[in-house]
Chains A and B, each alone.
Chain A
Amino acid sequence: METSIAWLEIFLNASFWVASVRIATPLIFGTLGEVICERAGVLNLGIEGIMTIGAMAGWMAVYQGAGLWSGLFFAAACGGIFGLLHAMLTVPLGLSQHVTGIGITLLATSLTSYVYRLILPEVNSPPRIQAFEPLEIPGLSSIPLIGEALFNQSPLTYFAFISVVVVSYVLYRTPFGLAIQMVGENPAAAEAQGVDVTVIRTVAVVCGSAFMAVGGAFLTMSAFNAFFFNMINGRGWICIALVVFASWRPGKALLGAFLFAAFDAYQMRLQQLVGTEIPYQIFLMMPYVLSILALIVMSRRVGYPQALMIPYRKGER
């Protein structure tokens, strides 16, 4: 009776949309970062570890007295360093991108635990920082439903939206973006045009990894205010799937991240409505199952970068 319309009413509640955008933010950064890497032809499975590094580095910098924005910059720089390591191994040395990526994830997550314990050997509960507060944009935030969801968010969420626009612009409207696309599609042709494939790929992986780290930092500096081991909790792997969903386009990456987050926000609310009849595991599964379905539909016409996962060696036929 009451529940029959209650599951629809969830959509009319502004806080559902607010939560969806909030949950989407780290995924937007992560997916955007992975799109940049893969557009240049390098699969980056180090994402889960790089997000962990970002989460710890940003939070730790702020805890040690840095400002929020400089903490964020520090997180991005740390992510970039691991991106550089990944690029060094996979671009000039041409090692397996799968194996290297997994290795980076393992190294980064373990190193995070190690550094955390080194800096904070004796703590009873993880120390808290003053995290980013939601920033209300006057006027726009009073639009019903959409206003609150889009214009009463953390500054990092606005930064995520801006990043999508900037990355789209760079990728499609600048020579540098064109070079990134070219080395991902046909590195030999790019080389013939005088583009240095190694440099472009390396720069793309470093920039992409910096975005991933910012996605991790969002979790400790905005969504929450402390760092916990394992708190990335598979979000990096979700981003890998979202890249395929987005068919390697920044705009669609935003859409994909939002859809996944909305499924998640919805299941949390639905779980309370009909949780007595259906096991909770079904609800937890929901975002993933729906993402797989969406992936099947979307990936029928995917055009993945032609040189993805193929190392480029100068002069090799």
Chain B
Amino acid sequence: MTWTKKSVYSIIWMIASVSIMGVSSLSAKPKVAAIYTLPVEQQWISRIHKALNASKARGDIEYVFSESVKNTDYERVMREYADKGMDLVVGEVFGLERGARKVAKDYPGTAFLMGSSFGPTGQNFSVFDNWIHEPSYLTGMIAGAMTKTNKMGVVGGYPIPEVNRLVHAFMDGVRAVNPDVKFMVTFIGSWYDPPKAKESAFAQIERGADILYAERFGVSDAAKEKGVLAIGNVINTQPDYPDTVIASAIWNMEATIDRAVSKVASGSFEAEDYGQFSFMKYGGGNLAPYGTFEYRIPAKVKKRVAERSQEIKDGLFRVNVNDAEPKSTM
């Protein structure tokens, strides 16, 4: 190929336009990277992914993500994103609490917002968690009023604080309206084994459970097949199981993400605990619309739930937080 004038000009033009684009993106939106340890389909992660995508769609941020990053590889990916000049790195560090904090210390110019069981650290390491014990309590109130056998089942992955506190809140809600209910609790020792979760749920239905707390994928499927009811968690699963899922406690990450993004944009990001932005008061958690169960839940129950919901938002009622492993009561 010969270097004609035209080709040289076009190359110069290309380089110039690319660099202008680069500069403009640098000056405008905050660059956000997310690092997830599981695929974005996972309930928990899907909520963070959704909030970040919404922010991107509004034009607030530039968003990139890495999914299925192993805990052993997580620090490397954190460093890579920080080195690439990301303004905010979002993720979950339950498997590498100490290591992640060390990385944050090495990159004081980058903001970190991480799902964590511990508190904020240093100048730039903020934490959040799925604090949706309040709507979980409300789903418990509904379940307590709907059970006929007074037996309920809970199938969980592992008894970690994030799971335990929601299960306890659910149980407290049930007992608040129906103290006679007994619980069966099973852990399957895996986050991702729907066939096994389903088998455990079948075993609970055999023993008389007529409402299942569906902490894992697979439980609602068992309930649907056997014609019993289920309670959703983190996402609204009712559209997939219209005659099975009575109510779901939903987690909304929007309040948390939007606050962090605006702080980063204004240069005022600092280490703080974003946990409360998952509370109902900030819209971080809510009870899913009753949908197909609108007319199957007694009006009296709906009224009680609405009242309690208002009390929680007004700060007049506090749902107890219990991180201990839940146990069967029958």
Contacts and interface: CB of A to CB of B under 8 A. Distances in A.
Interface of A: 13, 15, 19, 22-23, 113, 117, 123-126, 128, 219, 223-226, 228-231, 233, 264-265, 268-269, 271-272, 275-276, 280-281, 284
A255 B204 CA distance: 26
Contact of A233 (B193, B204, B207, B327): B193
Given A229-B68, A268-B200, 4 more contacts: A15-B202, A19-B202, A272-B207, A280-B187
A233 B68 contact: no
Give 4 closest A-B pairs by Cβ, nearest first: A223-B195, A284-B189, A272-B184, A275-B328
Contacts of B217: 226, 228
Nearest to B153: A272
Contacts of A272: 184-186, 203-204, 207, 328, 330
Give the interface centre of B68, B196, B327 by most chain A CB atoms within 10 Å.
Answer: B196
A123 B218 CA distance: 18
A47 to B, nearest CB: 17
A313 B24 CA distance: 64
B194 interface: yes
26 contacts: A13-B206, A19-B199, A19-B203, A117-B39, A123-B41, A124-B50, A125-B41, A125-B43, A125-B46, A223-B195, A224-B195, A224-B221, A228-B41, A229-B38, A229-B39, A230-B193, A231-B192, A264-B199, A268-B186, A272-B185, A275-B184, A275-B186, A275-B327, A280-B159, A281-B189, A284-B189
B25 interface: no
B186 A233 contact: no
Nearest to A19: B199
Nearest to B53: A122
B118 to A, nearest CB: 24
B195 A231 contact: yes
A205 B63 CA distance: 45
B203 A268 contact: yes
B19 interface: no
Contacts of A113: 39, 68
A228 B193 CA distance: 8
Interface in B300-330: 327-330
A284 B200 CA distance: 12
A271 B195 contact: no
Contacts of A229: 38-39, 68, 192
Give the interface centre of A123, A124, A219 by most chain B CB atoms within 10 Å.
Answer: A124
Given A128-B240, A229-B68, A229-B192, A276 B327 contact: yes
